[in-house]
Structure 1
Amino acid sequence: MKSMNDELYDFLLEHKEAITEEWLSDRDKKDGSIYSKDAGEWSEQMLREQNSLTNLTIASSLLEDQEVFENNKKNWAKLVAESRVSSRTPIYEVLEALSKLRHTFWRFIEMFVEREGNRVLRSNNINWGIVINQAFDDIIVEFTKKYDELMNTRLVAQQSLIEELNAPIIKLNSTIGVLPIIGDVDTTRVQAIGDFVPNRCVELGVSHLFIDLSGVSVIDTMVANHIYQLMQVLDLLGIESTMTGIRPEIAQTSVQLGLDFSKVRTYGSLQLAIKKHFKEFSVN
């Protein structure tokens, strides 16, 4: 004989599409949101399919075998988190949607209770209140964990791209690279360049790096000092460095700082430096 939990589970599965339809009909209009009533046919179909899985997941919390709920919860959280990160949906919109679904779910549980009448005991109602609400809380926690994990992965990837764009090393051949520094260079940016470039040179197998400053308008004393330190770090790694595009004011700043660039090759232009380097290389 089936327990009341099993009967409610069967009832919710039989009505899971109806739960979805009622939940969808309760949407408001929100500009740019996939949960908007006018988001479009594709968004509505996606929500319908995902909500069907949500209903199955919540209903499975009523089963005696809790492993089924745990598996459903993880699968649901992964699917929905990936979808919401991809659509750039903020967490608060997902939580609002789940709150509305929770209310819809309880309306259908009330329908079941009314249908069964005296067969539903007070203890059943209390138990369902605990189990169903806990299930919603559990999927929210699982979703936010997965969402946060995916967002952090995306942020790390974006930070890596920003660092690469901030200090792009262009390889001329298997061992020679060019680092064109363009635009305003402040202390924060030059520190980021100093942290990124040595590791990137090692990753790319660069043994000679041309650092071109022709695209830099102004360099203060702190920035000049950081560039000098960068070249020292490259030297310790066995990576030869050549500075090109040095403007008169940059040279004056370096002299005023007492920075010793006597061991560093410097050229007025990147074109001249590359031309002379490859000429020497071909002679050798």
Structure 2
Amino acid sequence: MDKIDENLYRYILDNSSKITENWLALREKQFGSIYSMDSNEEIEKLLREQNTLTIKTVTSALLEDKTVFIETMEQWATLVAKSRVESDTPIYEVLEALNKVREAYWGFITDYMLKDDTGITKATIIRWSRLINRAFDQLNREFTEQYYLLTKERLLAQQDLINELGAPVIPIIDAIAVLPLIGDIDTYRAKGILDTTPSKCISKNISHLFIDLSGVSLLDTMVAQQIYQLIGTLNLLGIQSTISGIRPEVAQTSIQLGLDFSQVSTHSTLKQALSKQGIKLYERK
């Protein structure tokens, strides 16, 4: 490491707290934002700690061993991305904050370069500019990638929960259960129902499943095929199926598609279907 680079390296790290203060001073009031100038003490402490790590990460780009920068950057991106995803901070706010960190960072380097006794040449200034700006650009890229992956992971987890709640197999008595389907069923949701319902029935030792469609507002031909496949799969597993609440237009479309529901017991309402099995629903008076 050149002596001149080492001097800058030490100067920046020694003044990291001052750089952080200058960065915090650039904040504005942003309602609901983690970067708002009126954030509470806990958040401000977090920002100070993370910004100190940001400065350390960028400054490590001056070291001869470039693996130090890469490893520190990956740790930084994982930490900050996780923190911002958990606080529901929009990605554009984070990138804007990073631009302000760059502004405060360069302010200190400029002050350093203007000193009389540093002996800094134009070539050194250009080299530093390339190194440091590239480091900030890499931080931006690494952060956005980690933010995307964490956000995608969260969305998938939420979708799994929605799918679970959207196709519940509810045991009622003995080995009998009801699958109440409510709302629109598109192709994606229908596939989820087809993929998960058989395993749910097996795990709960269900021998008879009542599939109630009375709460479904839209059921197209593609979805009707998925329901037909579900019944076929359950039949192969030895699980009897009963359909209730199927609309006349859907039944007609199914016939036109060649979907033979004649082997499946169908009823206009779930109450009627359960009654046929000797299961009575007692209504509150």
Indicate the residue corresponding to 1:191 in structure 2. Answer: 187
The alignment's C-alpha RMSD in Å is 3.1
Report what 2:152 is aligned to: 152
- Rounded to whole Å, the distance in 2 between the matches of 1:23 and 1:270 is 63
Residue type of the partner of 1:107?
G
Please, what TM-score do these two structures have when normalized by structure 1?
0.82
Contact 1:167 1:179 in 2 (8 A): yes
Alignment of 1:127-166 (within 5 A): 127-166=127-166
| 2:101 match | 101
- 1:123-272 aligned at under 5 Å gives the runs 123-172=123-172, 176-183=176-183, 185=184, 189-206=185-202, 207-208=206-207, 209-216=209-216, 227-236=227-236, 238-245=238-245, 249=248, 253=252, 257=256, 260-267=260-267, 269-270=269-270
The residue aligned with 2:87 is 87
Cα deviation for residue 234 of structure 1 reads: 3.4
For residue 241 of structure 2, give the secondary structure of its aligned residue in structure 1.
strand
1:23 corresponds to 2:19: no
Gaps of 5+ in 2: 280-285
Query: What residue identity is the alignment partner of 1:8?
Result: L
Structure 2 distance, partners of 1:9, 1:198, is 60
Counterpart CA distance in 1 for 2:88 and 2:169 is 31
Query: Are the aligned partners of 2:213 and 2:243 in contact in 1 as well (CA < 8 Å)?
Result: yes
The question of whether the paired residues in 2 share the 8 Å contact of 1:190 and 1:226 is answered with no
Mapped partners of 1:38, 1:254: distance in 2: 60
| Distance change (3 Å), C-alpha of 1:192 and 1:169 | farther
Corresponding residue number in structure 1 for 2:48 = 48
Q: What does residue 64 of structure 2 align with?
A: 64
Moved more, 18-27 or 199-208: 199-208
Could you tell me which runs of 5 or more consecutive residues in structure 1 were left unpaired when the two chains were aligned: 280-284
Structure 2 residue aligned with 1:34 = 34
2: distance between equivalents of 1:21 and 1:76?
A: 20
Whether the 8 Å contact between 1:58 and 1:136 is mirrored in structure 2 is yes
Kindly provide the CA deviation profile for residues 229-249 of structure 1, in whole angstroms up to 9, marking residues without a partner as x: 4423433455432223457x4
Structure 1 residue 96: Cα displacement: 1.0
Q: TM-score, normalised by structure 2?
A: 0.82
- SS of 2:37's equivalent in the other structure is coil
Following the alignment from structure 1 to structure 2, what is the Cα–Cα distance between the partners of residues 93 and 52?
18
Amino acid at match of 1:15: N
Aligned length: 274
Q: 222-231 or 20-29: which moved more?
A: 222-231
Deviation at 1:255, TM superposition (A): 8.8
Letter in 2 for 1:234: L
Helix, strand or coil at the partner of 2:154: helix
Residue 2 to residue 182, structure 1, CA distance change in 2 (3 Å): closer
Partner of 2:282: none
Aligned-residue identity in percent: 46
Residue 9 to residue 244, structure 1, CA distance change in 2 (3 Å): same
| Structure 1 residue 69: Cα displacement | 1.1
Tell me the SS of whatever aligns to 2:117. helix
Aligned partners of 1:198 and 1:234 also within 8 Å: no
